[in-house]
């Protein structure tokens, strides 16, 4: 039969040999190509330098993350005043003279300028009369210097907060930096500030389970919140035990009989809310509908 | 035994065995390559699969930051809804993309081509039918291109 004849045909086997040799060659080449491409994927983000685990200098980070650095360094630029503040550090006490009297007896009555970009976080804090004329605790440093995590590692959480601001002042060289919110290897968002971690833990939120979308709010919430310095050790604390609405926060303070200061003219115990952006968003309509 | 020019000679059984082994190796290598390249992932809808090739990372990242992340995966916009159309487009794009990526012959930045642009347009309409029904009945001579105005809904801010 023709079929049997073909099967015994030497030419058939020669062709089969050549074809399968060729196919094996192609498949192996493809396999090596795929492996090569997968290796390329591992070179992301493309590293020009190795960024140390504890590196805080944005210039070094900028070598590996140039686009992000470009936008970060824009916070140095003064783009003028806007309806909501802007970046010109004009004196708010001159602009709103009543504040001097409303804040009588409180450091803010001495000096209060419009705040500006992250770049200036340490610079402006070291130069404000609120830290020069008034003695402040190290707790203030928490959100004003990228050196904070290093100082906490060195001194311990409580004693870092307790140490006078002036003792730490000389070591504050870097304002807010990449390292405050990012992992140097992957640029993933990370929490670096203990106060937020502690507050979320007592609120029953497991930060390890936070999604990327959650983290995009959480990293901001490390600092853009209402806070106070608790007890003798002046430990930075978020007043969230009752919840995060304004009333909840007031209830929290009332249970401690906490006050920010005593008013100089009236003798009234006073509270001054700081910058509760995270709370206002979270308890507002956008937060309620998971709009980040 | 008589020789013939066509090579019509009996073949030694040992040679046959050798060939069988060779084919077996080829088959095994093929399966391993398919597995190594995460071949099965292409049959499903996980957007991570589109990033198997690192060249798509920017598209993946920009989608992750876009308004559509919560409601649409890659396949929701980039493949037809019907089963046949979906796998036909996956097959065709898969072949083109594999060839381009393997041989490193492609243009950067990546650009969508007409065939795929039509698929996306159809999918815009598929989900937003109600919102745009009045616009469509308005009597434009050509169909409006959703992406000419809404180009950033799927892929956030482009650099």
8 A C-beta contact, residue A123 and residue A82: no
Average of per-residue pLDDT across B2-7:
50
Instruction: Provide the pairing of β-strand A261-262 with A228-230.
Output: unpaired
Which residues of chain A have a CB within 8 Å of the CB of B37?
34
Inter-chain touch B64–A27, beta carbons under 8 Å: no
Rg (CA), chain B: 24
- ω before A82 within 30° of 0 (cis)? no
Which residues of chain A have a CB within 8 Å of the CB of B36?
31, 34-35
In this prediction, residue A8 has a pLDDT band, given cuts at 50, 70 and 90, of low
Write the pLDDT tens digit of every residue in B114-155: 999 999 999 999 999 988 887 766 677 777 888 888 888 898
Q: How far is the C-alpha of B19 from the C-alpha of B153, rounded, in Å? A: 55
8 A C-beta contact, residue A165 and residue A135: yes
Burial class (CB in 10 A: 0-12, 13-18, 19+), A168: buried
Share of chain B above pLDDT 90, in %: 54
- Output phi, psi for B9, to 5 deg: -125, 150
**How confident is the prediction for chain A on average, in pLDDT?**
92
Inter-chain contacts counted by CB atoms under 8 A, chains A and B: 63
DSSP B79: S
Q: Which two tokens stand for residue B119?
A: 């698929």
Q: How far is the C-alpha of A121 from the C-alpha of A174, rounded, in Å? A: 8
Interface mutation target, options A31, A36, A71, A216, chain B, most CBs of B under 10 Å: A31
What Å distances lie between residue B7 and A2, A15, A287, CA to CA?
15, 12, 81
CA distance A70 to chain B (A): 13
Helix and strand totals (H; E) in chain B: 7, 0
Written as one string, the DSSP assignment of A7-49 is HT-HHHHHHHHHHHHHHHHHHHHHHHHHHHHHHHHHS-SPPSS
Helix and strand totals (H; E) in chain A: 16, 4
In this prediction, residue A213 has a pLDDT band, given cuts at 50, 70 and 90, of confident
Inter-chain touch B33–A67, beta carbons under 8 Å: no
Nearest by CB: A23 against B16, B26, B53: B26
Inter-chain touch B16–A8, beta carbons under 8 Å: no
Write the pLDDT tens digit of every residue in B19-72: 999 999 999 999 999 999 999 999 999 999 999 998 898 899 889 888 898 899
Say yes or no: A212 contacts chain B, CB-CB below 8 A: yes
Q: How far is the C-alpha of A145 from the C-alpha of A131, rounded, in Å? A: 14
Nearest by CB: B26 against A5, A10, A27: A27
Question: Shortest CA distance to B16 belongs to which of A24, A27, A20?
Answer: A20
In this prediction, residue A5 has a pLDDT band, given cuts at 50, 70 and 90, of low
- Residue B131's pLDDT is 86
């Amino acid at each position: 039969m023709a079929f049997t004849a073909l099967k015994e045909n030497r030419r058939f086997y020669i062709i089969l040999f050549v074809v399968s040799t060729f196919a094996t060659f192609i498949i192996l080449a493809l396999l090596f190509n795929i492996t090569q491409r997968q290796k390329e994927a591992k070179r992301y983000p493309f590293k020009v330098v190795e960024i140390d685990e504890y590196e805080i200098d944005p210039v070094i980070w900028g070598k590996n993350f140039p686009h992000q650095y470009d936008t970060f360094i824009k916070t140095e630029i003064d783009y003028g005043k806007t309806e909501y503040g802007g970046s010109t550090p004009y004196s708010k006490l001159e602009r709103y003279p009543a504040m001097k009297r409303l804040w009588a007896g409180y450091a803010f009555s001495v000096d209060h300028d419009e705040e500006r970009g992250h770049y200036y976080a340490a610079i402006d804090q070291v130069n404000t009369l609120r830290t020069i004329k008034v003695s402040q605790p190290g707790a203030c440093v928490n959100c004003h210097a990228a050196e904070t995590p290093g100082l906490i590692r060195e001194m311990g959480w409580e004693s870092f907060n307790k140490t006078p601001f002036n003792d730490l002042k000389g070591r504050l060289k870097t304002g807010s930096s990449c390292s405050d919110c990012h992992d140097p290897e992957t640029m993933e968002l990370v929490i670096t500030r203990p106060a937020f971690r502690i507050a979320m833990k007592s609120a029953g939120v497991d930060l390890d389970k936070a999604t990327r979308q959650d983290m995009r709010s959480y990293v901001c919430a490390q600092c853009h919140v209402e806070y106070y310095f608790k007890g003798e050790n002046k430990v930075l604390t978020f007043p969230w035990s009752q919840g995060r609405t304004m009333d909840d926060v007031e209830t929290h303070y009332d249970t401690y009989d906490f006050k920010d200061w005593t008013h100089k003219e009236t003798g009234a115990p006073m509270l001054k809310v700081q910058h509760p952006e995270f709370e206002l968003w979270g308890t507002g309509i956008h937060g309620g509908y998971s709009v980040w | 035994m008589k020789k013939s020019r066509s090579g019509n000679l009996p073949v030694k059984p040992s040679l046959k065995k050798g060939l069988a082994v060779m084919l077996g190796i080829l088959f095994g290598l093929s399966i391993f390559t398919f597995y190594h390249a995460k071949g099965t992932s292409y049959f499903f809808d996980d957007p991570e699969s589109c990033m198997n090739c690192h060249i798509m990372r920017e598209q993946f990242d920009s989608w992750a930051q876009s308004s559509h992340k919560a409601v649409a995966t890659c396949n929701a916009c980039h493949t037809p809804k019907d089963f046949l159309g979906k796998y036909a487009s996956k097959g065709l794009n898969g072949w083109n993309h594999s060839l381009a990526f393997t041989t490193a012959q492609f243009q950067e930045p990546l650009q969508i081509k007409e065939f795929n642009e039509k698929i996306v347009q159809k999918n815009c309409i598929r989900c937003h039918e109600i919102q745009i029904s009045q616009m469509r009945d308005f009597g434009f001579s050509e169909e409006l291109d959703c992406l000419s105005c809404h180009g950033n809904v799927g892929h956030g801010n482009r650099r």
